[in-house]
């Protein structure tokens, strides 16, 4: 899966022909918009402060574990091993103090003597809206 996040600063929606602009042509951005998902942001005539902060983090975890055992409590031999590799890509976005969200993709690979190799992939979207009153 590929994720391409385009966030243009100082670009109004009415300067993109995919949103109906007639006075300018943006064929490359129109093509990207037709193949993906657009998240239009609401705008108002009032002065509303939008923070527009984005953070990208990548976590990598590696672990190796060996279990040894012995029937006679003297001669220990390896009975099982577990090798794990995990990576998590997380993108968090803050629109205002009350609206935040994030996307994450997690890839895990575990290899053990008893169960063999296992691969897990997780994807998630979080949207947080604060309701105050």
Are the C-beta atoms of 80 and 112 separated by less than 8 Å?
yes
> What residue spans define the domains of the chain?
1-40, 50-129
Which pLDDT score, from 0 to 100, does residue 106 have? 95
Question: Shortest CA distance to 53 belongs to which of 125, 102, 4, 126?
Answer: 102
**Strands 77-94 and 99-112, how do they pair?**
antiparallel
pTM: 0.55
CA distance 43 to 127: 19
Question: Shortest CA distance to 111 belongs to which of 83, 85, 86?
Answer: 83
Tell me the average confidence (pLDDT) per consecutive run of 10 residues in the chain, 133 residues long.
Answer: 67 77 83 75 60 87 90 83 94 86 95 92 93 78
Which pLDDT score, from 0 to 100, does residue 39 have? 65
């Amino acid at each position: 899966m590929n994720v391409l996040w385009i966030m243009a600063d100082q670009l109004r929606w009415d300067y993109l022909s995919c949103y109906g602009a007639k006075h300018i042509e943006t064929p490359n951005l129109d093509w990207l918009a037709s193949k993906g998902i657009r998240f239009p942001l609401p705008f108002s005539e009032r002065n509303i402060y939008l923070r527009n902060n984005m953070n990208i983090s990548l976590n990598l975890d590696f672990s190796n574990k060996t279990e040894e055992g012995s029937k006679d409590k003297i001669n220990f031999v390896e009975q099982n091993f577990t090798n794990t590799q995990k990576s998590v890509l997380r993108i968090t976005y803050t629109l205002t103090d009350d609206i935040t969200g994030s996307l994450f993709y997690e890839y895990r690979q575990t290899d053990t003597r008893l169960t063999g190799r296992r691969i897990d992939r997780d994807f998630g979207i979080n949207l947080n809206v604060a309701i105050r009153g």
